[in-house]
Structure 1
């Protein structure tokens, strides 16, 4: 099956938020390390069941969604283009993050919306669109069956993903879909676990290339590209 690449934001691997999120998910996507033990009162086996998909993707905020490479494009070419583009981009303030539900998922989101963030993400989506292979019919049908709005259907057809441009919302996913009876307990545990590292302003200071070697395999954090750095 085809490999895929994604352009994400993630904190530096030395950042406490990266460490805490990796332990929460049970997996460090950079070091391919796995974690045992309970987290903030949640048994590890239960937490793993609630975070299987989130852990597979690794802790991140999606900027350019996972994509197979278009014919004639290579991983080396993508890396070179990403390095060049990042040098020309300025960091984007995120402010403080907070815990919030996006539908049935628990995530970290900016405490205040900033149009500059959506504009930044749209620019990355457009800039790297030439690297994206078109979706296969099966993938398109699976996405289209997910109850998308007409606008999201348009974006899916144009960009292979329904939540870009005006449908984009910056978020760093912490769980899979949660049943109603799990939400309060998981949210309380997340507040305990993440609270100490959410009392500071964050900056989107890098783009990070993630790689899925084959469909369904865990994504790995390949390389960081600092914004505005020579």
Structure 2
């Protein structure tokens, strides 16, 4: 399959990963559209509430989608990521279900140093494999509306919310009014309670690719071996 962009994700595994893929309606690993779970009390249609994030799948972005620099291929990204992850240790994230800025998402209770080291290493040490943003890609990020530090990151790294501005999140909805997002959070709480009762292990990252329809597909896992 030909991919127009690549990204580094963390893809939750186990029952949590399966639920998230089914809830969003797209399984990045399998490249399939699983049946959505029956969640009582939803404040609307599940497909409509998850339409924008569906094509990305249930994931946390570690390095945002990018086009490959000329002369490089996906195998180069995998090799470089393996070199990086050979020196980074697995860890676990206690998660909570939250509403922030109109989005419902699972977020860490705290972001441990191991998570920050993983993100920083992959953002900075893979960046020479990234093609520069086109003018259209740059303008899509609305640079004039960004805070100064975020715009500086966009200029340097091709994405604003990295390094000191990075926040791990597993998105579960599109943007919606705050009261509706709160209703969705309440409806999802019983379904997710057992799945996040224990900290979620982070033992690997994944290279994913975006197809011509805008959906992302799993390409390779890279384990944390440190």
Q: TM-score when scaled to structure 1?
A: 0.90
Any idea what the Cα deviations from partners look like across 1:92-129, whole Å, max 9, x if unmatched? 332x2111123111111111232442232111101100
Equivalent position of 1:67 in the other structure: 66
Equivalent position of 2:194 in the other structure: 196
Equivalent position of 1:55 in the other structure: 54
Q: 1:134 to 1:2 in 2, by over 3 A?
A: farther
Q: Aligned equivalents of 1:108 and 1:87: distance in 2?
A: 27
For structure 1, which runs of at least 5 residues remain unmatched after alignment? none
Of 149, 161, 164, 1:163 maps to 161
- 1:200-215 maps to which residues of 2 (within 5 A)? 200-214=198-212
Once the 2 structures are TM-superposed, how far is the Cα of residue 21 of structure 1 from its aligned partner? 0.5
Once the 2 structures are TM-superposed, how far is the Cα of residue 213 of structure 1 from its aligned partner? 2.3
Q: Aligned equivalents of 2:224 and 2:85: distance in 1?
A: 5
Q: 1:44 to 1:79 in 2, by over 3 A?
A: farther
Once the 2 structures are TM-superposed, how far is the Cα of residue 36 of structure 1 from its aligned partner? 3.3
Equivalent position of 1:223 in the other structure: 220
Q: Aligned equivalents of 1:127 and 1:152: distance in 2?
A: 19
Q: How much is the aligned-residue C-alpha RMSD, in angstroms?
A: 2.2
Once the 2 structures are TM-superposed, how far is the Cα of residue 149 of structure 1 from its aligned partner? 0.6
For structure 2, which runs of at least 5 residues remain unmatched after alignment? none
Any idea what the Cα deviations from partners look like across 1:64-89, whole Å, max 9, x if unmatched? 11110011111121222223332232
- 1:87-166 maps to which residues of 2 (within 5 A)? 87-94=86-93, 96-145=94-143, 147-166=145-164
Q: 1:2 to 1:204 in 2, by over 3 A?
A: closer
Q: Secondary structure at the match of 1:28?
A: coil
